[in-house]
Amino acid sequence: MPATHTLTDGRTIVLHIKRNTCTHLIVRPRDGGSIYLGIPPWLPEKEWRRWLAAHENVLQDILAKGQARPRTAATAQQAAPESIWLYGRPHALASHDAADIRIVDECILLPQAAWPEQQQRLRQHLYQLAAADLLPRLNDHAQRTGLHPAATALTRAKTFWGVCRPHSGIRLNWRLIGAPPQVADYVCVHELCHLRHADHSRAFWALVDTHTPHTAAAKQWLKRHGSELFVLG
C-alpha cells in the first residue's frame, strides 16, 4: 500500500514511493491528493519524512499542479473496492435488485449496474449523507464554542479536510462522512478555531484542545486511514 504524509492542517496525502539510484529526493505531482516520491536507496525513512515536514510549501505547490491534471483513463476505469469507510467503519459493497441504495448493518447495497454508474450514484448518496450529518455537526460546534462562520458548505476538494475563510465561511470535505464521528468533530473544531487564529500557532492548538479531547486520536486516524476515504474519487 502507498504510504501517507499528514500536513500541519490535518490533510493527509498519499505517497507513491519508488526506491531508485538517484542521489537526492525526486518529488513529482500525481494528482491533487498524492505525489510520486523517488528516494535514494541509502536514505532512511525518518530522513525523508523530516524533509517532507520541513518543505511543506514545496508539497503544496506540487499538489496544486497535480490537481490541475486531467483524470487518466486508468483512473476512470478503476475496479470497485470491496468496501468503503462510512461513519468510521468499513462497509462491504454488494449489488441487489432494488432501484435504490440501501445500508443494511455494515453493507451498502447498490442497484445492479456497471461499476462506473454505481460509483457515481454512491458518491451522490454519500454526499447527501454528508450534508445531513457534517453541516449540522459543524453548526452544533459553532453554537457550543461561540465561533460562528459566515457560512457553511461541503467541498469536493481532494487536498484538504476543511477550509476556513473569514468572509466565505467554512467548507468541510464530504468524504469525512467515512470517518468516525470524533474525527469529524475534530475537523469541525479545527476549522472553527481558525476564525480566531488564522495560523497553526501554539495559541491555535491550545484553543483546539480546549474544545475537543480528540485531537491526537483524530490526527492519527486521518494519518492512517485518510487516503482510504478517497477511494470513490
The model's pTM: 0.67
Same domain flag for 11 and 29: yes
Q: What pLDDT is stored for residue 33 in this prediction? A: 76
Lowest mean pLDDT among 11-20, 111-120, 141-150, 188-197: 11-20
Domain range for 188 is 76-230
Asked which of 49, 67, 85 is the last residue of a domain, the reply is 67
Same domain flag for 38 and 87: no
**For 31-72, what is each residue's pLDDT tens digit?**
667 787 778 778 888 888 888 888 888 778 777 766 655 544
Residue indicated by cell numbers 432494488? 98
Question: Pick the residue with more confidence: 79 or 139?
Answer: 139
Total domains in the chain come to 2
Same domain flag for 58 and 130: no
